[in-house]
Structure 1
């Protein structure tokens, strides 16, 4: 014999039969009849089928009343099946087996639970909760029914005129509703159009934002380039200003006077700090004298080029301390305008001829400078090229020979001083006439 076991479908707590049911010999496998069920208390001699209701129905109804919140009556004769554990709903008739009772209980609980797939009973607490829920729904349904009934009664009491008025109001409300629906549709369409316009505007705004960012970057690059160009322009302007200032200073500067400095206020005349001459009291080396003659030849050549003079008979070749002259008719013959210490004889003769040729070139320059418009060149010392003499300023001035033999150091140095005097006057005249201030 096996024991019948149930589980609550909601709280899943095990439901067991009471011990009294086990002692009664209930067997689910054999589906024994439930004829031994005690009858409910009533009139003596009546069977469970007699009377309006059986004892089982009375007990079940009493249990349902207890689940709805009321007290549970009865003397416990039916509670031997599920005493305070679960509730069996339905009618108990004669000859019903335990299997049929279980199927009835199962169907009842399926109906109460609203679920067709339930195959287990409910415990007492879950049944009470379920019945309370059903009572609440029943009360709500009854309240709705009463409200609907009162509405119907009020509608029946409304007169014909009021009904027509209400019908007109209803038609007006329907027309207003239709108008509002159309307006709502128009508003929805407008909203959709506005949404599309907004999306297009947002897309255009994004594109314009990107273009603005690109324009800003380009503008920043151009501004940076402009600043660099301004810096370069200011730098070029500063350079131009410096160049103009230097040009103005150079224009005011006399290149010939800056390049050649002649002084004849000492015992021996100087040109660019080289002494041209020699005295017993002031001995001068031949190297310095040769360098002075080279500076004098360079100055005379620069002055002749300035006035556009081409020398006849001789050609000046300034080479520092080794300057010399050449015959134009005899290109192979050179006249050295320098002298080495210890030389004598023919070498001194060539040196004398070179100094006389230099004096001839100075005379040619004088004649060329006296030509043309404006004041001519006035050399204070008169030159006699054929004799190799140069005369002091004035009508009765003494003449000195430019040759070294026969001559003395004092007279030769005096002649060289007069030569530099004429060169200085020529330099001043060219500077005033050909070099702008």
Structure 2
């Protein structure tokens, strides 16, 4: 047997032990038991606890020698477990211990006498306050019964008015439901019409897109045709304002050398020119003079000019029909009158015939350099006395090149005159 001290859970003072006045079990204690069962509840005895239990109703059970007690404030201590305890009581003790440890069961705490009296006084004051509240509630209920009757009458009147209003609202609801049915039918028709219109709109969009694409293509074609028309009009205006001779024959000066259609005619001191280029230039000059004579309707009297590129020549119309070549390989006979010089003099004769024909009329041709066929000379028409011989025999290359340049200037003036007079015809 061992001794255990219990403390008051409020003031933490030790509790005094008291022997129970009555045994809780009818079974006598066996002599061999070593444990002594004791109950703790301040200075209260177990008999008083049982009386309070019978008055206060059911409370939590407390183990006394393995059996349950219904007093919440009664605590028992078992010094040792008796060997006569049954298996059921042991299992019940273990189950209750597990419930206490796991928090599933609430246990009371022992109090001392002073703390118990203080707790009872607090409970008495709470009971007194509760009774006062009950009395006030009763008086309020008695005073409020009359008001409740009047309120009941008013509520009945309001209920009748609400019933009438409910009936009216029911009729309105029926009308609204009928309107909803009609609106649903109209909505269905409108949805069907909307779907039809959407399909038509989609078809219209497709057609509009196709027409828009076709319009863009036509606009692009129209713009292209307008550009082509503008270019054609520009070309037509250019062709109308310019003659065929200006497009066919282009004559200019490159230093002391005359150039026709990118072919140089002469031998400048700066550098020799290949005779093939000079012969080709003579072919262009012969072709130009033939074209001018054909334009004005001129037929040569003493020579026939035959343009054949770099092998052009003149054919005499009298005598033995001698051929005079307008091409050379650069070899000249100093002692004899060579055929190349005779061909250039014959060409001056043809140019002089063209000049005489072109000077007729009020829009006659005026050349800047006078032609002397007998001497084969080209001289300035202004009277400066500057002249050059169109021959290679007993002549310098510079003077021969300058004479060729004078001849090209006369041809350029003749070309401009023919373009102005015959270009629009």
Q: What interval of TM-score do these two structures reach, taking the shorter chain for normalisation?
A: 0.3 to 0.5
TM-score by length of 1: 0.43
